[in-house]
Amino acid sequence: EVQLVESGGGLAKPGGSLRLSCVASGSGFSFRKDWMTWVRQGPGRGLEWVGRLKSSGSTDYAAPVKGRFTISRDESKNTVYLQMNSLRTEDTAVYYCTMGYFDSAGSYHGDEAFDIWGRGTKVFVSS
Amino acid sequence: QSALTQPPSASGSPGQSVTISCTGTSTDIGRYNYVSWYQQLPGKAPKLMIYAVNKRPSGVPDRFSGSKSGNTASLTVSGLQAEDEADYYCSSYAGSVNILLFGGGTKVTVL
């Protein structure tokens, strides 16, 4: 079974940067088929889609982070990254790394259903 | 304000049923059959309970069911159990620009 472990969270000042990492382990994982998505949850708030990295390497981002956040991967390390620049106080959240779901019929739900999640890493942006 | 609208709370007694609504628009829930539901226990990561409107991943009890009508999706938990007390979030695919929208979450209390 695949496991995801995030790291890299911490305290940053407004305008600063942080890089989050998400390491995937376990059998069955491959960047060649698995799409990786970052979802965040602000304190006392709901879930928010941040961005996604397809197996092709293409990325998409939510409007609030577009131009500031970048998702990338290192296949040799089974790691996906979330580079966060120009941080704002509203970026304060727990950031989760998650993967799309292959159902029993073999259909892939890379964009809209996530069955494996990491435990999250906390990001706090404050002066 | 979340893109999809959920009631902030819902409750029911053990054994009863509770239904949570999730309202979107014709460009998300109304257009795509890609609604998912997640259960989140305090301090834990979300867990996928329903995908593609009404399908259950293996291991999810059949007490959980999903449906959709127009721009509104629903999650019903039948035969409520104490362990079902959690926050529930809906999500919907919204096309190539917005990609994925979440609801604000509904806290389910088992009385």
E strands present in chain B: 9-12, 18-23, 35-40, 47-50, 64-69, 72-77, 86-94, 99-102, 106-110
pLDDT band at B39 (very low <50, low <70, confident <90, very high): very high
Which A residues, 57 through 86, put their C-beta within 8 Å of a C-beta on chain B?
A: 60, 62-63
Mean pLDDT (chain B) is 95
3-state class of B98 per DSSP?
helix
Smallest Cβ–Cβ distance between B45 and the set A109, A111, A118 belongs to A118
pLDDT band at A30 (very low <50, low <70, confident <90, very high): confident
Tokens of B6: 């959920």
Find the residue in A nearest to B8 (Cα). Answer: A46
Contact A117 B102 (CB under 8 A): no
Tokens of B38: 């997640």
> Using one digit for the tens of pLDDT, what is the confidence trace for A40-85?
999 988 999 999 999 999 999 999 999 999 999 999 999 999 999 9
Edge to edge, the sheet with strand A3-7 lists: A3-7, A18-25, A79-84, A69-74
Q: Give the CA angle between residues B84, B90, A55 to the nearest 5°.
A: 115
> Using one digit for the tens of pLDDT, what is the confidence trace for B41-97?
999 999 999 999 999 999 999 999 999 999 999 999 999 999 999 999 999 999 887
Tokens of B11: 């409750």
Find the residue in B nearest to A117 (Cα). Answer: B45
Contact B34 A49 (CB under 8 A): no
Query: CB count, 10 Å around CB of B29?
Result: 28
> Using one digit for the tens of pLDDT, what is the confidence trace for A77-117?
999 999 999 999 999 999 999 999 989 888 999 889 999 99
For residue A123, count CB atoms less than 10 angstroms from its CB and return exposed for 0-12, middle for 13-18, buried for 19 or more: buried
